Structure 1
Amino acid sequence: MPPHPCWLALCPGPACTSSPAERLAQPLAAASAEALGWWALQFTPRVCRHDEAVLMEVSGSLRLFGGERALHERIVAGATDLGWAQCAAAPTALGALALARCGRSGAWSIGLEALLDGLPLDSLREVAAEAAWLSRLGCRHLGDVRRLPRAGLARRSERALLQTLGQAYGEEPWSAPWLTLPEVFEARLELPGRVESAPALMFGARRLLLQLCGWLAARQAGLRSFVLRWRHDFHRRDDPPLGELPVRTAEPTRQAGHLLRLLGEWLARVRLAAPVGELSLFCDEIEPLVEATPSLLPGAVEAVEGESLAQLIERLSARLGSAQVCRPVPRSDHRPEAQQTWRPAAQDDAPAMVPWPSMPQPAWLLSEPLPLATRRDRPQLHGDLTILAGPHRVEAGWWDTPGTAAARDYCVAWNERAGLVWIYRERRLEEGGGWFLHGRFG
């Protein structure tokens, strides 16, 4: 562990569009900052909110995420996707916050005085409150204030000014309550403009889904379902949402890429009743999810990134409709044509326990049994067929739909031209009592 604390501060808004004082005055939606804090908990359990920022102490996570540079780049990339453009590093929490407000990246390996002395007065809220009379004394930067006589500064200013300076420079302790994860994820996002088509909602939904995946990573869990809700822009905030899209997954997951593709397929089939002004995302159905551990052996083949079969089935079912993507499900029935049924592949039903057949059965069945000619009471298929095994009697289906009952004697037969085939003799006189070809063994 590094010998000193390592703090990161995340602030909203690009530095080039406004001054630090203007950003301090900008209101920030509490839900957005709280959701960013939940997202940050996947990197460290030491996350807190202070003023308009989210602060993270990451000294215990550096080795886990590949070192200072790798962790810093990963957090910056993720925070930028969530709309939080400023990220700064420093050995103290308030020092990192002051740097982030000024658009400086900071560092953990440089002395605090070198990082903070040149910052303007409005980089710290308590100093900005006293900036009017401090500027008349010739103070333009935090270093100028620190060089003033401490006793006189204490008499003329609030105690919070000296305390904040000491905490920013690491001379006094600073603490804040750590964030804790809620049991249920619910985040809201006000869209910057009217959205009139459902696929265009993906811009805002993507930001909410990234927050959700961070919350899941911090809980070491995967989701089974989530609900995207929207409110039309001419309705009040306290009105109930007027539209929602529930999305289920076949297996627990927190892969943002798969969830985004899946949601995109579902939104492509939605038609909005009116323009949308606000989105919200809700998730309460989660399960523990342990990530696969990569191999430590040299030359081991790592898993190829991409969709698994279950994820591909989910995406195709969302695009084509669940009834168009089906999978076979075994059934306990002696009639070969009734030993499986087809169900939507996206359904996660438990597989039925079906006993193994007591006689050889071919992998390929004819859709309709083919009547065979007979010669001297022997079935014909490109010549005489030789019975190799059987008969295996099947009598079933009398309880089922009228006309589907079966009374047959199955045999395995062969000749040089037809190969190995599966035939049966119909025992019901109304069916002709003859021989039929029902399958092939290869």
Structure 2
Amino acid sequence: MRRVVSLYLPTWPTDRIRRKFGDPPREKPLVTVIKQGSRRLIASACPTAQRVGLIEGMAVAKAQAMVPDLHIIDSDPEGENASLRQLAEWAIRFSPVVAPNPPDGIWIDIAGVEHLFGGEEALLKKLIDRVENNGIHARAAIADVPGAAWAVARFGKGGIIPSGRAVDAVSTLPVQALRLSPETVSAMHRLGVERVGQLAAMPRAPMVRRFGHETSLRLDQALGHAFELITPIIPDEAVIASRAFAEPIGRLEDLQLVVRRLSDELCQTLEKRGEGVRRLDLIFRRVDQKGASLRVGTAKASRDHVHLAKLFDEKIETVDPGFGIEEIVLIANHTEALVEKQTVAKGIEAEDESVDLSQLVDRLTARIGEDRVYRLAPVHSLVPERMTRKISPLAPLSGSTWPENLERPTRLLDPPESIMTTALLPDHPPVSFIWRRIRYKVTKADGPERITSEWWLGDEQKMIRDYYRLETAEGSRFWIFRDAPMTEGGRWWMHGFFA
């Protein structure tokens, strides 16, 4: 299923100027202007300028009368489009299918890659946060079709349109959301057509006679009745290998074979450049102009063409070839320098070489997602929840370790689960407890071990926990705690298990 992001940059011209020159400050109104005959008109206005009443199309003389200290810069459409392309190339980190949508937007087809970011909602939030952190105002929407995403991003509230609901999302929007010319919109308003739903309810033939074939096409694109092609941009520095077919192909075995050959060709080019791939994109172009894209990443730079091709094997099974695929493109969008290292000399293998886990990490990442592949590193803390942190699976050893005499369970529950206990004395361990509706009889116990809040780290909330190590009649070993002294009404919690 196709899913497209429309990234809308409402104040792109002025945001670009501030990023390029560093001024004027954001609290100062800024506009860009164009010349029409002898008149100078506002082409775009920053949010500060809009708040004081300056709008697109207003005469510059009137704007200066309203705001004497107004900052004015000539509009530069060519520079804006060039910068928009650069931003689109940056957005390739989110998907291999990205294209600028001048003058103020970017298309991103995220089908097949959204799981790498934790889902559509997480991807959308990360995208907008990254853009806005760079001083660019942004709003975005996700839909099955580009036209619907474009309309909701600009004339709706943005966000995620559920699959199959493009018609409902677009029908209530104004007809300007169909990407029509101002003249066509004015003609519709004169006839009382204000909303997309009204236009869609009109008989098709009279609508085409009155408003033209472009209106019919834009309406079908917004409602998902007509396919709209997104031609992805490819950075100039990217390494590419492609195959076009005289006769379309569609069998899984054929697709996998072509990918292996493209991977071999790509790696040969990378070897000549002394580079290895870190992010690899695979694009399928079908005969009906529809397509699909896949993405894999590597834990470290690699030129192993067999390994790289295998990373796509399971993902290719999800590709719908339709009536056939006429071209396959393999793109190394992110590469790093890779220098070959000798590991064998005179038939003797190096004994001190560490095991290379990068290929295992790559396969796991391709299967379950980058965020789910990590390892735990020690942290100097006595609070159990703080004793580890997630790091890259191939990160170098930091040298830090946990204290050898500090016995801790092999698994912690997050969050701890409430248990019912029977304790004879305030500081004694329980003689039995109920957890998950099962009663356990305690045969051996050790404790208490008191852990308090780490005030030197700025903990504002006071914490007191008394931990006990328990062994039950069945031989299971548990780690439980009471979150306050018994005299203060402390409750008992299950926090972990020992091997």
Bigger radius of gyration: 1
**TM-score (structure 2 length as normaliser):** 0.38
Comparing both chains, which one has the higher relative contact order based on Cα–Cα distances under 8 Å and sequence gaps of 6 or more? 1
